[in-house]
Amino acid sequence: MCGIVGYIGKPPVVQTLLDCLGRLEYRGYDSAGIAVVNGRGIQVRKRVGKIKELVASIQQHPFEGTSGIAHSRWATHGLPTEANAHPHTDCRGSLAIVHNGIIENYAALKARLQANGHRFRSKTDTEVIAHLVEDYAKRLPVAQAFRRALKELRGSYAVCLIAKQDPQRIYGARAGSPLIVGVGDGEAFLASDVPAVLAKTRRVIYLNEGEVVELSSDGARLTTLSGAVIHRKPSTVSWDIASARKEGYDHFMLKEIFEQPSAVEQTLVNRLDAARGRIAFDRRTRAFLEKLKPNEQFVLIACGTAYHAGLVGEYMLEELARVPVDVDLASEFRYRGPMLTRDTTVIAITQSGETADTLAGVRLAKEQGAKVLSICNVMGASIPRESDAVMYTHAGPEIAVASTKAYTSQLSALYLLTLYLAKARGALSAVRWRSLVRQLSHIPSLVERSLRAEPLIKEIAKSYAGARDFYYLGRRYNYPSALEGALKLKEICPSIHAEGYAAGEMKHGPISLIRRGWPVVFLATDSPVYEKVVSNIEEVRARKGDCIVIASEGDQRIRRYATHLIPVPKTEELFSPIVAAAPLQLLAYHIAKLNRCDIDQPPNLAKSVTVE
């Protein structure tokens, strides 16, 4: 959702900005723009559509600068037009701004600025920042004017500024939206996310809420909004540029699906010692877990795919660790007036660590005295930083909008947590516990095995590429799998309507739509509810629907019910969602590919939803 880049350093500045912006394409956007400072002042170029349109325009009419900012915009206030695209300038074109987030008090600020003679050219909330800084810069140096303007903003922002009178600096600040500083050799970067700068540097400073940064080619100077200097050294990112490239795959989504065995392994390694029967966490997380009360109440909050991981977590935590669990969509949690106490642990699950609703849920939980543990993939993101403890999933950068490896690594983190709590609470016998720990250690290779179904899934996809409606059905642990399978398909193939249901709900409504050839994907792996799922399959067959059945390897009986059968490794029921994930993702991927969909960047979707 909106990508920001800033650069100061070596020529060619424009090319560096475009390269970095291109690495944020995955975030989703509908227009792009760039502004640089050069001997002629500030030069701006914007285009509606893809970054390649902007690149083509610059190739036709090139310009260069000593420093600059660039932006990919996902429209919130105002249509995706050139006028509304960023960067935005002040009245005289003496400074330029790019912004991610929403300025909630923009209407009041705009009215005041207009009354003072400022002329606005766009419908965006962002433009007020440019005019506000312009106002203060009449009597203050740029750095101070920037900070004064920021103090007036309500809402969320990551913002970068260049100014004609200060060409050797770029400025950045954040509140509620992510912004990182990349520190290179004689060059420095600002970006909304690490992959933007990975090809240039792995030394990164994560800005905290309310921090302002002043970049020169010598490095970064951090201050508070009041101007107090902050000292923070860069940390080194463990990801490398290869992890942010497609590496021969047609799409990032496919690459990330196939990375799941190693992503899951990364979540488990150093935490799971199956040989000695031990689960260990870092000191902070261990201390956090050790302090939990016997009557601790758990609330899992998340959005989208992460919410589906949370739903699987509810089953396993209640069944195996015997702890009471609620799961909430973060966007509902924050508005339902939850009753939290000091004995509540809120577990925030998030790939990006920046999802606005989940972050708001975390803040609400803390206000009410609850504790927060987050499960997150992105190091240094806002949610882990505001949590009392964090389990990083270490899945590596997930670039495709559709979440795949983040999901299975979130499940892996939840398995670890469940088994840890089950042991701490004596909820399982020692024999059963050790057996589950041993099985968990085999999960990466089982996920690998489930990927071998790809050629079969590719064939099945051919039969359904033309279908326009799909159901996904499962029970218990695989009810969330059904939701996730349907989400994957509708997300990356917008011409298809796909719904996931608890299979038991079929008779309460959805079955009325089934007709000849209607594809229904069933999760029918080995479980105590297997027979019930088979009955649901029969019901669909009786209405001449097609049944694409994901079942445990070796299940001969299911063959006679399935129009198409996708075998996955046989596991304990609790591990079945993780082995079923890849076939569901691959089915969505191949159907979308046959429909020529924009798989990595589906229309209207953003990778990280940083606005409400």
Question: What are the catalytic residues?
Answer: 2, 607
Residue nearest to ligand M6R (CB): 304
Asked if residue 46 lies in contact with residue 33, where contact means CB atoms within 8 angstroms, the answer is yes
Candidate ranges 111-119, 399-407, 522-530, 540-548; the one touching ligand M6R (CB under 6 A): 399-407
User: Residue 14 or 390: which CB sits closer to ligand M6R?
Assistant: 390
Please calculate the CA angle 262-554-458 and round it to the nearest 5 degrees: 55
Site mask for ligand M6R (CB under 6 A), range 438-477, x = bound: ----------------------------------------
Interaction of residue 387 with ligand M6R, rule CB under 6 A = no
Closest distance to ligand M6R from the beta carbon of 6 (Å): 23
- Which of 358, 382, 418, 571 lies at the binding interface for ligand M6R (CB under 6 A)? 358
Interaction of residue 122 with ligand M6R, rule CB under 6 A = no
For residue 188, give the amino acid letter: A
- Which of 156, 266, 305, 344 lies at the binding interface for ligand M6R (CB under 6 A)? 305
Interaction of residue 85 with ligand M6R, rule CB under 6 A = no
Contacts 24+ apart (CB under 8 A), 243-252: 243/396, 243/397, 244/23, 244/195, 244/198, 244/199, 244/397, 244/399, 250/593, 251/400, 251/589, 251/593, 251/599, 251/600, 252/26, 252/399, 252/400, 252/600
User: Residue 148 or 405: which CB sits closer to ligand M6R?
Assistant: 405
Which residue, chain included where needed, has tokens 């987030």? Answer: 101
Asked if residue 563 lies in contact with residue 465, where contact means CB atoms within 8 angstroms, the answer is no
Interaction of residue 608 with ligand M6R, rule CB under 6 A = yes
User: Residue 145 or 402: which CB sits closer to ligand M6R?
Assistant: 402
User: Residue 399 or 457: which CB sits closer to ligand M6R?
Assistant: 399
Interaction of residue 401 with ligand M6R, rule CB under 6 A = yes
Candidate ranges 37-45, 272-280, 344-352, 579-587; the one touching ligand M6R (CB under 6 A): 344-352
Interaction of residue 382 with ligand M6R, rule CB under 6 A = no
Q: Decide: residue 208, CB within 10 A, 0-12 exposed, 13-18 middle, 19+ buried.
A: middle
Closest distance to ligand M6R from the beta carbon of 307 (Å): 7
Site for ligand M6R in 480-539 (CB under 6 A): 487, 491
Which residue, chain included where needed, has tokens 């095995």? Answer: 449
Candidate ranges 145-153, 172-180, 243-251, 352-360; the one touching ligand M6R (CB under 6 A): 352-360
- Which of 350, 387, 527, 563 lies at the binding interface for ligand M6R (CB under 6 A)? 350
Candidate ranges 17-25, 346-354, 418-426, 501-509; the one touching ligand M6R (CB under 6 A): 346-354
Rounded Cα–Cα distance for residues 306 and 334 (Å): 16
Interaction of residue 582 with ligand M6R, rule CB under 6 A = no
Interaction of residue 374 with ligand M6R, rule CB under 6 A = no
Closest distance to ligand M6R from the beta carbon of 602 (Å): 9
Rounded Cα–Cα distance for residues 204 and 179 (Å): 10
Interaction of residue 285 with ligand M6R, rule CB under 6 A = no
Which residue, chain included where needed, has tokens 């695989």? Answer: 478
Closest distance to ligand M6R from the beta carbon of 305 (Å): 3
* Terminal Cα-to-Cα distance of the chain (whole angstroms): 12
Interaction of residue 390 with ligand M6R, rule CB under 6 A = no
Size of the site for ligand M6R (CB under 6 A): 16
User: Residue 89 or 393: which CB sits closer to ligand M6R?
Assistant: 393
Rounded Cα–Cα distance for residues 430 and 422 (Å): 10
Rounded Cα–Cα distance for residues 250 and 237 (Å): 26
Residues recorded for the chain: 612
Interaction of residue 355 with ligand M6R, rule CB under 6 A = yes
For residue 399, give the amino acid letter: I
- Which of 402, 414, 416, 523 lies at the binding interface for ligand M6R (CB under 6 A)? 402
Interaction of residue 267 with ligand M6R, rule CB under 6 A = no
Give 61-104 as a DSSP string.
Answer: S----SEEEEEEE--SSS-S-TTTSSPEE-TTS-EEEEEES-BT
Interaction of residue 266 with ligand M6R, rule CB under 6 A = no
Crossing angle between the packed helical segments 127-137 and 142-151, to the nearest 10 degrees:
130
Rounded Cα–Cα distance for residues 578 and 580 (Å): 5
Asked if residue 571 lies in contact with residue 542, where contact means CB atoms within 8 angstroms, the answer is no
Closest distance to ligand M6R from the beta carbon of 14 (Å): 31
Please calculate the CA angle 265-573-316 and round it to the nearest 5 degrees: 75
Closest distance to ligand M6R from the beta carbon of 68 (Å): 29
Asked if residue 146 lies in contact with residue 173, where contact means CB atoms within 8 angstroms, the answer is yes
Q: Residues with Cβ < 8 Å from 399, sequence gap 6 or more? A: 26, 195, 244, 252, 256, 600, 607
Interaction of residue 192 with ligand M6R, rule CB under 6 A = no
According to DSSP, the residues that pair with 326 across neighbouring strands are 299
User: Residue 37 or 372: which CB sits closer to ligand M6R?
Assistant: 372
Closest distance to ligand M6R from the beta carbon of 352 (Å): 3
Site mask for ligand M6R (CB under 6 A), range 403-432, x = bound: x-----------------------------
> Which residues here bind ligand M6R, judged by CB under 6 A?
303-306, 350-352, 355, 358, 401-403, 487, 491, 608-609
